[in-house]
Amino acid sequence: MSYQYIGSELELFAAATNWKAYLAELLRRFVAGRVLEVGAGIGSNVSYLHNNLVREWTCLEPDQHLARRIEERLASGQLPTSGRMITGTTASIDGSAQFDTILYLDVLEHILEDCAELIRARRHLAAKGYLVVVAPAHQFLFTAFDAAIGHHRRYNRARLRALTPRGCLLTTCLMLDCAGFFASLANKALLSAALPSKRQIACWDKLLVSVSRVLDRVIGNSFGKTIVAVWRHDD
C-alpha cells in the first residue's frame, strides 16, 4: 500500500540551516558506521550529520515522491556517495540488516504505534549501536500546525523513557531550543497558525536558535520546544 506524507513543511525547515547545524553538533558523535535514517523526507539532514566515520547511509522513506527526490539527489551527487535509498518503512528492511546508528529526526511523532516502532528498530540495531530520537516536546504545545502535518503527539522525558526498547539503555535525554519554546507558546496562545511562514522560520532560525545555543547550556537543557533522546544497545 502506498503512503503519501500529508505535511508541507519539509521545504520550509530545510532552510533552517542554523538549527540543523546546532542539532548536528550535538548528534554527530552518535553517528558512525552503518546509518539508517527513518523517514528521511527529502534528505535535508544527511549533509549535516554525515561524517568521515560513516560507512553507509541508508535513507528510509515511505512516501514514493519524496523517495524519488532523494534518489535524484543521490544520482546528481548532492548527497554523499555512501548513501542509498529504500522506499518503505522499518517493516520493509531485510530482517538480517544491522545498523550502528538509527535516526528518527522529527519522525517518531508521525508514527501511531511509536512503542512498536522502536521495538522493530531495536531488532536492526547492532551491539553498542545508538538509537536517536529528535521530537517536538510538551503535549501542551500541540497546535494546529502539529495536526496539519500529521503529528500524533509531542513528548516529554517520562514518555520517551517509557519507550525504552528491551536491551537498550537511555544515555541522553535533554531539551533544546529554550528561546523557541516561548515562540511556540505564543503561537499556541495567540496565533494557532497551521503552518509557519518563511519569514517566521527565518526569524526563528537566525535569531532564536542563536539565543538557544547559549541559553540551553546555561539552564542545563532543562526545557525547550524540542527533545532529544539517545539509547545505546547494551545487549
**Percent residues over pLDDT 90 in the chain:** 81
pLDDT for the residue numbered 108: 98
Would residue 215 count as lying in a domain?
Answer: yes
Would residue 207 count as lying in a domain?
Answer: yes
* Model confidence, pTM: 0.95
Q: Count of CB atoms within 10 A of residue 64's CB?
A: 14
The total number of structural domains that make up the chain: 1
pLDDT for the residue numbered 167: 96
Would residue 2 count as lying in a domain?
Answer: no
Query: What is the average pLDDT across 101-111?
Result: 97
Using an 8 Å Cβ cutoff, are 38 and 104 in contact?
A: yes
Query: What is the average pLDDT across 213-222?
Result: 97
How many alpha carbons lie under 13 Å from residue 56 in its C-beta half-sphere? 11
Residue 114 to residues 57, 58, 156: CA-CA distances in angstroms?
23, 21, 14
Residue 192 pLDDT level (bands cut at 50, 70, 90) = low
pLDDT at residue 8 greater than cutoff 80: no
pLDDT for the residue numbered 198: 87
Using an 8 Å Cβ cutoff, are 89 and 62 in contact?
A: yes
Would residue 29 count as lying in a domain?
Answer: yes
Would residue 3 count as lying in a domain?
Answer: no
Please report, for the domain that includes residue 57, its CATH number: 3.40.50.150
Would residue 70 count as lying in a domain?
Answer: yes
pLDDT for the residue numbered 5: 73
DSSP annotation string for 118-138: HHHHHTTEEEEEEEEEEEEB-
**28: which residues sit within 8 A by CB, 6+ positions away?**
49, 51
Would residue 161 count as lying in a domain?
Answer: yes
Would residue 24 count as lying in a domain?
Answer: yes
Phi-psi category of 219—alpha, beta or left, where left has phi over 0 and alpha has psi -120 to 50?
alpha
Query: How far, in Å, CA of 187 to CA of 113, rounded?
Result: 28
Least confident of 78-82, 186-190, 215-219: 186-190
pLDDT for the residue numbered 235: 74
Q: What is the pLDDT of residues 46-68, one digit of tens each?
A: 999 999 999 999 999 999 999 99
Locate 140 and state its grid cell. Answer: 501542551
Range of the domain at 16: 10-233
Residue 153 pLDDT level (bands cut at 50, 70, 90) = very high
Query: How far, in Å, CA of 161 to CA of 230, rounded?
Result: 10
pLDDT for the residue numbered 193: 60
